Structure 1
Amino acid sequence: MSEGIFAIARSGLDVERQRMEVIAQNLANAGTTRTATGEPYQPMRLISAPRVETETVFARELNGSAVAQASSSTLAAGGLTGAQALAVEPTNAPPRVVHDPSHPQADAHGMVRYPGIDHAGEMSLMVQTLRVYEANVVMFNAARSMYMRALEIGNKG
């Protein structure tokens, strides 16, 4: 059961780390007019979802699998085994247009197109991501403490 708890916490940590990398990439490219390929930078978002077992708990119970009987944590979670990153996709944010005729990327009217990155929104998402990451660390440490305490109790008996 404890391995499942650790795996769930690890998967959450991994997804939030990836989300933080995407946020950092967006903030780093906020002033970028063109990428190395010459295309305008498009802000990105990490798409994540719960990870669900391929074999349902009901199917294992129906088959009388010993794994289903031993895995009460999976049964209680309804087949959820953590989180997963599905994709990194561009947002549909319109570009931010600034009048700067001296900029080398300015068009004929002196307008420069920057990525449509909302700094306040990115910072808010960064704080939220940090809080979720911290919650996963707390869960991981609490499970480890309970596991170690159970081992101590088992050694006394």
Structure 2
Amino acid sequence: MPLFGALGISGSGITTTRKWMDAISDNIANINTATSTDGEAFRARYVIAQAVDYGSGQGGVRVAGVASAGSPEGRMVYEPDHPLADEGGYVRYPDIDLASQMTQLIMAQRGYQANLAVVDRAKDSFQQALTIGRGA
């Protein structure tokens, strides 16, 4: 695999994991978003990653799409004092598990860090190759 290929592959990984972290942060930010019972609850978003030219050493990864998960019904919570409460005192909240989101956030952060480490190592290799080329 060419050295510049490593930069391209890890760069695509950085972009994909950043979008993954963006989706997770959006899910966490909306975990307590209440809606009326006649509306739909916020649905968690998940990034779908896809390998590009797998096995060729030239590909990387890309975001193939974003999927919504969970039911639009969410979870019903009894909060009669909430301004969006229905006649029965219920409000609709998203059905998002904070522990699952935090676990995914840690995985995405680790992927981001790993790809940045590859970029750093490739940069060091380029610098070493330049010093060898100078004869020093």
Asked if TM exceeds 0.5, the reply is: yes
Q: CA RMSD in A?
A: 2.1
- How many residues are paired up? 132
**Tell me, what secondary structure is at the counterpart of 2:46?**
strand
Task: Find the counterpart in structure 1 of residue 53 from structure 2.
Answer: 52
Q: How far did 1:96 drift?
A: 2.4
**TM-score in terms of structure 1 length:** 0.76
Task: Find the counterpart in structure 2 of residue 136 from structure 1.
Answer: 115
Partner Cα separation in structure 2 for residue 143 and residue 79 of structure 1: 15
**TM-score in terms of structure 2 length:** 0.87
- The answer to which structure has the higher helix fraction is 1
Say whether 1:121 aligns with 2:121.
no
Task: Find the counterpart in structure 2 of residue 18 from structure 1.
Answer: 19
CA-to-partner distance for each residue in 1:30-70, whole Å, 9 max, x for gaps? 11124xxx6431111111111127xxxxxxxxxxxxxxxxx
- Unpaired stretches in structure 2, ≥5 consecutive residues: none
Q: How far did 1:27 drift?
A: 0.8
**Tell me, what secondary structure is at the counterpart of 1:83?**
strand
Q: Of the two, which has the highest radius of gyration?
A: 1
- Unpaired stretches in structure 1, ≥5 consecutive residues: 54-76
**Structure 2 residue identity aligned to 1:31:** N
Partner Cα separation in structure 2 for residue 79 and residue 132 of structure 1: 18
Task: Find the counterpart in structure 2 of residue 106 from structure 1.
Answer: 85
